[in-house]
Structure formats: C-alpha cells, structure tokens
Amino acid sequence: MSEALKRKIRDIPDFPQKGIIFRDITTLLKDRGAFREVTTLLFDRYRDRPIDLVCGIEARGFIFSGALADKLHCGLVPVRKAGKLPAETIREEYVLEYGTAQLEVHKDAISPGKNVLIVDDLLATGGTLAATCRLIERLGGKVFGIAVIIELAFLNGRDKLAEYDVHSLVRYESG
C-alpha cells in the first residue's frame, strides 16, 4: 500500500449522507506526480500479463482505465449507468452502500475468451465490481483481474469478489 498516495486523498465527512466518510480522489488527480504514480503502479503490475481489454466503470474508473489501457496497448470498454450507451446493451442490477443501481455494457464490447482487467477508483461493498464481472462473463469474457485505487476493507467488498484477483493501492481498515 502506498502511504504517499493515501495522504493525497481527502476525507469528506457526512457525504453523500450522514455517517459516511467519502474518500475524495480529486485531490490525488490534480497532483500530476500522484496521478502518474497510480498509473505507473498499475502498469508495472499488469504490463507483462495477457490482458486484451481494460474495462472502466463510470465515472471515476474511466480516468484510470483510459490511461492504463493506453499504457498497456489494450482496448478500453466503458461500463456505464443504465441508459447512457447508444448501441444495444446488456444490464446488471446491483446494491450500493446506500441504494441500488444498474450498469450496462454494449453487447458487442467483449468477444468470447478475451482477458479483461477491470479498473475502478473504489472497492466498498463490492456490488459495482461484482455486477461488472457478471456483465463481462455474460459476454464470454474472462475477468483477468480487478484493480482499484482505494479499498474500504472494513466493508468486506472483497468477499463478493473472492474468485477474482483483486489489487488495491490504498486500503482503509476502518471508516
């Protein structure tokens, strides 16, 4: 875990609701050295792996997945909130820390047998990432791994992803 990166993340208490501490990465993003460190650490981990596609989850996952896909010379597949993609999609519903939501991916985004690395900013309860795994697998893709910047370990989201290789750069053991 990178303590230097952790210091670049701002805590916002009581957002989006009372009792939640939001881990704000905008302070990390504006620091070009910290942003480069994130993309370099992820690239170093996956550079020699057989990854065909990087899958980024809306919205903050797009930031890191795009940069990483470029460095890995891979294609990029966006996973978006329902109703945001223009072509034919498949959809998965999932539970958030404080509600439910739906994710979609284009039906033709992933060919059977392709190795896909999922990238997002945060692993909390694991619902978003588990739904993304199901989308990829429904299209015949293989989830090669999951990479996140922040893991809220105290929410046990990793438990929902036990069958996958999950890598996080910064872990919070308590809220």
Residues with catalytic annotation? 60, 97
Q: ω before 101 within 30° of 0 (cis)? A: no
Strands 89-96 and 99-106: antiparallel
Q: ω before 16 within 30° of 0 (cis)? A: yes
Q: Which amino acid type is present at position 114?
A: K
Q: Where are the beta strands (DSSP E) in the chain?
A: 10-13, 21-24, 53-57, 75-81, 89-96, 99-106, 115-123, 142-152, 166-172
**Distance from C-alpha of 118 to C-alpha of 57, rounded to nearest angstrom:** 8
